[in-house]
Structure 1
Amino acid sequence: MTETAIEFRGVVKRYGEAVAVAGIDLTIAKGELVTFLGPSGCGKTTSLRLIAGLELPSEGQVLIAGRDVSRDPASARNVGMVFQSYALFPHMSVLDNVAYGPVIRGTKRPAARARAAEILDQVGLSGLHQRLPSELSGGQQQRVAVARAIVQQPDVILFDEPLSNVDAKLRRKVREEIRSLQRRFGLTAVYVTHDQEEALAVSDRIVVMQQGRIAQIGTPADLYERPASPFIADFIGDANLIAGHVAQGRFTAPGLSLDVPGPEGQAMLSLRPERIGLDPGGPDLIASATYLGSRIEYGIQTPAGDLLVSRPITETPLPVGTRVHLRIDPKDASRVA
């Protein structure tokens, strides 16, 4: 039986008349990395702060390791946190930064430093113990921040937009390091980001927030391949949303007809740009073509509306003005409304 690490039970958070979190029910398993994802103001950061104890719920309960911590302050929760800015002490060595938490919690300094040295070695920072944070790269500083959170053996570790201060070229490497450390230590982790690619790359499950509510929960593949609504389809990656009608198991829109099971009536399909093939000769028109290194993005004018199509650079490029036929496999179309 999977052990529960964090549980939200009907959690509401209000700021005066404004509702930041509007009734969340959520269970996070021990050892799982769950990401809260959504646009600004959706409630994702407030949800993280409710776990940390930096905010208290207006209604409902927050449980950590089976204990109701809803009214407990941050200091009474066994939670580690990695901030956007890393919040490393600039005047302290890497070793003392990591040992600081155990020391202020009552661990003797030699024991705290020994434990800190062990964790630093495990996160790949052996030989750098006596350096100052300013003498480290951004990726190394990130690992120090993670080590400082891990050293206290928290029930859960929280990542608040951890890559926002990392150079774009380092983000892939750092997010891979975070995921590797989370798995190596078996950490229960909650991660907050507004970056869809980042969420897809690091998460076991993603909680997509919309206006203070959970819009959909699922694995990265679930959310990308089977979005539950137009909002999810449009927010997770790129999507072509096509309005039409379903009758007798067939979806029809101007210039488009596909077998789509489900209820009859008005409907909307989501088509990912990379799942649409292009064949020369047909009723549709290439209105634009953008070279993006590994792929070309085409803007296609169709009777159903303007569509985005992404094709690998290995295919023969098609010039603007070419008439094309769209090649769509019905299994690649997701009904979102």
Structure 2
Amino acid sequence: MTETAIEFVDVVKRYGSVTAVDRISFSIRRGELVTFLGPSGCGKTTSLRLIAGLELPSEGTVRIAGQDVSTRAAAERNVGMVFQSYALFPHMTVIDNVAYGPTIRGGDKKAAAERGMEILAMLGLEGLGKRLPSELSGGQQQRVAVARAIVQQPDVLLFDEPLSNVDAKLRRRVREEIRDLQRRFNLTAVYVTHDQEEALAVSDRIVVMNQGRIAQIGTPRELYNSPSSRFVADFIGDANLIEGQFEGTSFVAGDLALTLPGGPGNGPATISVRPEQIALAAAPQGSATVTNAIYLGSRYEYLVETAYGPLLVSAPITSAPLASGDRVDVEIRPDGFTLLES
């Protein structure tokens, strides 16, 4: 059985009358990278701070490496953290920044510096140990912050919006570096972001949060292809939410009819359909109309008006693209929709 690295059991965090985290429970396996994802104020950063010991729970239990750390301060937990601002000491060299943690805890300064140099080399920062943080690029500073956390050999490595200060063009490369490092060192990592694409790219699993509660936990593929609620479907990627009625095993909305064996029976229902799960075919007598056609280089996006509401459709590049005003037939792939919880 895989060892559990982090566990929350009925954790609540209140600030006065405000409940920031509302009785959440989850576990993270050793060597796993899990991302907390959600809009501002959803409780994701508070959850990270509860792991770090920067906040203590109002109720419930936090365990790290099997030990109850609910009442332990940050200094009493073997946790490394990469802050949003990197929090590097500007007056200290790169290697002094990296070796700071082990040294301040009473470790041998020379051994800490040697270990720091090894990790800097692994991160592609060999030869930069004597520079000041101000002499590095944003991406290099981010890697120094990671090195400083790794050198302490933490049970858990925490990332608080680590790419918010990285140039947009570097963001893809830096997130790939973080993922590679996490795998190479077999780190248990918790990552906080509000960026859905970033979360999908780096995570083993994602914890989607909303209003202090967990909306859904799953792999990136599970959350994208099988969202459990309107919130998750709408928050992760683009989704068409279609409201209709179930009649036996058929979902009906306007002139749309889809079969779902083992459906919920008769009554109102909502399905989620991703834009790439819809096919359009030009048809002079088609039941739908293209209202906007957008060229995005690698694909087209179409806005289509139907009898059951507007749809966003993603389509591959073709030699005969559709244009605004074209009549079309709409086909939703048989396995291309998800029934959402009421």
Question: TM-score normalized by structure 2?
Answer: 0.97
* SS at structure 2 position matched to 1:126: coil
Distance change in 2, residues 1:85/1:314 (3 Å): farther
Counterpart CA distance in 2 for 1:34 and 1:249 is 37
* SS at structure 2 position matched to 1:270: strand
Per-residue deviation, 1:313: 2.3
**Counterpart among 302, 319, 328 of residue 323 in structure 2:** 319
Match of 1:272 in 2: 274
**1:273 counterpart letter in structure 2:** P
> Which has the larger displacement, 79-88 or 309-318?
309-318
Match of 1:289 in 2: 293
> Which has the larger displacement, 280-289 or 126-135?
126-135
Distance change in 2, residues 1:240/1:315 (3 Å): farther
Correspondences of 1:134-283 after superposition (within 5 Å): 134-261=134-261, 262-264=263-265, 265-281=267-283, 282-283=286-287
Counterpart CA distance in 2 for 1:96 and 1:16 is 40
Match of 1:84 in 2: 84
Are 1:332 and 2:336 counterparts? yes
CA deviations over 1:126-158 (Å, ceiling 9, x no partner) = 121112212222221111111100000000000
Instruction: Indicate if the aligned counterparts of 1:246 and 1:260 stay in contact, CA closer than 8 A.
Output: no
* SS at structure 2 position matched to 1:88: coil
**Counterpart among 310, 316, 320 of residue 314 in structure 2:** 310
Counterpart CA distance in 2 for 1:207 and 1:239 is 19
Per-residue deviation, 1:315: 5.5
Are 1:25 and 2:25 counterparts? yes
> Which has the larger displacement, 82-91 or 233-242?
82-91
Per-residue deviation, 1:271: 0.5
> Which has the larger displacement, 26-35 or 128-137?
128-137
* SS at structure 2 position matched to 1:41: coil
**1:277 counterpart letter in structure 2:** A
Counterpart CA distance in 1 for 2:260 and 2:234 is 20
**1:296 counterpart letter in structure 2:** Y
Counterpart CA distance in 2 for 1:208 and 1:307 is 25
Counterpart CA distance in 1 for 2:182 and 2:24 is 25
**1:237 counterpart letter in structure 2:** G
Counterpart CA distance in 1 for 2:318 and 2:93 is 50
Structure 1 gaps, min length 5: none
CA deviations over 1:221-276 (Å, ceiling 9, x no partner) = 00000000111100000000000111221110002111123211211110101111
Residues paired across the two proteins, number? 337
Match of 1:101 in 2: 101
* SS at structure 2 position matched to 1:8: strand
Which consecutive segments of 4 or more residues in structure 1 shift more than 4 A? none
Distance change in 2, residues 1:48/1:249 (3 Å): same
* SS at structure 2 position matched to 1:330: coil
Counterpart CA distance in 1 for 2:317 and 2:135 is 41
Counterpart CA distance in 1 for 2:208 and 2:77 is 25
Counterpart CA distance in 2 for 1:88 and 1:295 is 41
* SS at structure 2 position matched to 1:279: strand
**1:254 counterpart letter in structure 2:** G
**2:173 counterpart letter in structure 1:** K
Counterpart CA distance in 1 for 2:153 and 2:171 is 26
Counterpart CA distance in 2 for 1:148 and 1:334 is 44
**1:53 counterpart letter in structure 2:** G
* SS at structure 2 position matched to 1:331: coil
Per-residue deviation, 1:164: 0.5
Match of 2:121 in 1: 121
Counterpart CA distance in 2 for 1:123 and 1:167 is 19
**1:244 counterpart letter in structure 2:** G
Give the fraction of aligned pairs with identical amino acids, expressed as a percent: 69
**2:339 counterpart letter in structure 1:** R
Match of 1:64 in 2: 64
* SS at structure 1 position matched to 2:335: helix
**1:268 counterpart letter in structure 2:** T
Aligned-pair Cα RMSD in Å: 0.9
Per-residue deviation, 1:163: 0.5
Per-residue deviation, 1:314: 3.7
